[in-house]
Amino acid sequence: MHRCEALVIHCIDFRLRKALTAYLAPRFFEGYDLISVAGSVQALNSEGVERDFLLKQLQISSRLHSPKTILLIQHEDCGAYGGSRAFSSPEEERAAQRAELDKAETLLMKSFPQAIEKYFIPLSGKVISF
Ligand SMILES: [Zn+2]
């Protein structure tokens, strides 16, 4: 039996890589399961085949690796949401992304027993926990 500490869901955006590695690698030294899709939790929050696909990936990770924690990570200037210009201010963008994370958390809590952590990453790289 092999178990991992966490399952991480984040966007494909390459600009996040350094911040994500700096935050995740020391914390989950033994590694973690990763689902990386454009827009991160956006697909979970929209009904359809993308949500079904992601939920299946989450179920597989849970069944095979029993992750203790699920980390949901959104980021600034995400192209899946139209980038930062789709929001009137950085505060509005952050609030909207927080709402997206809260919505996805509510969905996952119905089916997954793991603790859920929510994060937002500004392009400056400093990871913010919600
Ligand atoms: Zn993105």
Question: What pLDDT does residue 123 have?
Answer: 92
Expressed in angstroms and rounded, the spacing between residue 41 Cα and the centre of ligand 1 is 10
Tell whether 1 is covered by a domain. Answer: no
Tell whether 86 is covered by a domain. Answer: yes
Pairing state between β 115-121 and 128-129: antiparallel
Question: What pLDDT does residue 126 have?
Answer: 87
Which among 55, 73, 80 is positioned nearest to 10, based on CA atoms?
73
Question: What pLDDT does residue 15 have?
Answer: 95
Which range marks the domain in which residue 25 is found?
A: 6-129
Tell whether 17 is covered by a domain. Answer: yes
Per the structure, how many domains does the chain have? 1
Enter the pTM of the model. 0.95
CATH number at residue 103: 3.40.1050.10
Question: What pLDDT does residue 103 have?
Answer: 97
Expressed in angstroms and rounded, the spacing between residue 87 Cα and the centre of ligand 1 is 15
Expressed in angstroms and rounded, the spacing between residue 1 Cα and the centre of ligand 1 is 34
Which among 7, 35, 8, 14 is positioned nearest to 77, based on CA atoms?
14
